Amino acid sequence: MNKSILITGANSGLGKDTARQLGLIKETEKIYLACRNETKAKAAKADLEKTTGRSIFEIIIMDVSNPDSVRLAVAELKEPIDALIMNAGGMGGNSPMEVTSDGVTSLFAANLLGHVVLMDELLKEKKLNKVALYAGSEGARGVEDMGMNRPALKTSSEDEFAKVIDGTFFDEKTDPMEAYGYIKYIAALWMSSEARKNPNLRLITMSPGFTSGTAVMNDLPFAKRVMFKYIMLPIVAPLKGLVHKLEKGAKRFVDGISDDSFKSGVFYASKPKRLTGQVIDQSTIFPDLNNSSYQDNANGAIHRFIK
């Protein structure tokens, strides 16, 4: 079992419920809540202590869009952690395609840039003992029922991945949800690349599945937000069996770090055309996920933006 776990974006939704479920496991001795907002983090900590009856939660201030904030947080971490859950992210705020001072879109910064810095720093400082999990998404393989196409890259070269990262791959009409799928795809490739480089660790990508009860839709533009929050999520998706409750989505993360049968380097998500239920190795659907050149190209492209 993992005694100490760090979870990014642990103040709400999947991150917070993962912290709750892990807190109820008696072997868990410490859970670091890595959050960007201190007030929200304190409220989450108080609630988690109440619901689990345990005082094992510690706040770490970390904005995963900001590499310096991540580096500072890792430097302040006194002891190595057994497990890392890279959960923070979502739709990238009000201007997801705006480019940050690191030269990446805000959407990329929130979902991936800081997490790559986080893993790099933990590995460099020898502060990660066993397992890391990245919160992936079925969006990485396209979701027909939500009008999300599968990422369509022409060469999967470093240059092409870099264009996705800095936003020049897209035009002004691109739906940020589509760009989100590309970013989660690049993330899965990056994790597989790192898994080959770090055979002593278990590094997996796990989609939580389409999960209700989180704030992930709040950043969507008005029309899309209304469609997803008030039509798709509560009416259409349940009718089609395409959505599950928060506990089930978070349980995928708990299982991912706790169960060694989830193999390093693999991206796990729902079966084809599903967003809930059993998870399977996504490379059985899309063999390109297993292409080690694509994996390393994605990793190389990301590192072009890390100073």
Task: Kindly list the residues in this chain that would bind ligand NAP in the complex (CB under 6 A).
Answer: 8-9, 11-15, 35-37, 40, 63-65, 87-90, 110-111, 135, 137, 207-208, 210-211, 214-216
CB 47 within 8 A of CB 11: no
Q: How far is the CB of 275 from ligand NAP (least distance, A)?
A: 8
Count CB neighbours of 172 within 10 A: 5
Residue 1 or residue 306: which is nearer to ligand NAP going by CB? 306
* Smaller CB separation from ligand NAP, 23 or 89: 89
In the complex with ligand NAP, which residue's Cβ is closer, 137 or 156? 137
Give the residue closest to ligand NAP by C-beta. Answer: 13
Q: How far is the CB of 77 from ligand NAP (least distance, A)?
A: 16
96 vs 208 by CB, closer to ligand NAP? 208
Residue 86 vs 131, nearer CB to ligand NAP: 86
DSSP the chain: --SEEEEETTTSHHHHHHHHHHHTSTT--EEEEEES-HHHHHHHHHHHHHHH----EEEEE--TT-HHHHHHHHHH--S-EEEEEE---SS-SS-TT-B-TTSSBHHHIIIIIHHHHHHHHHHHTT-EEEEEEEE--GGGG-BGGGTBPPP--SS--HHHHHHHHHSTTS-TT--HHHHHHHHHHHHHHHHHHHHHH-TTSEEEEE---SBSSSSGGGGS-HHHHHIIIIIIIIIIHHHTT--B-HHHHHHHHHHHHH-TTS-TT-EEEEPTT-SSS-EEEGGGT-GGGG-HHHHHHHHHHHHTT--
Closest separation in Å from C-beta 14 to ligand NAP: 4
CB closer to ligand NAP, 114 vs 265: 114
Q: How far is the CB of 26 from ligand NAP (least distance, A)?
A: 25
Question: Nearest approach, Cβ of 22 to ligand NAP (angstroms)?
Answer: 15
Establish how many alpha carbons lie within 13 A of residue 206's alpha carbon, considering only the half-sphere containing its beta carbon: 31
Task: Tell me the closest approach of the beta carbon of residue 199 to ligand NAP, in angstroms.
Answer: 26
Nearer to ligand NAP, 158 or 219 (CB): 219
Tell me the closest approach of the beta carbon of residue 32 to ligand NAP, in angstroms.
13
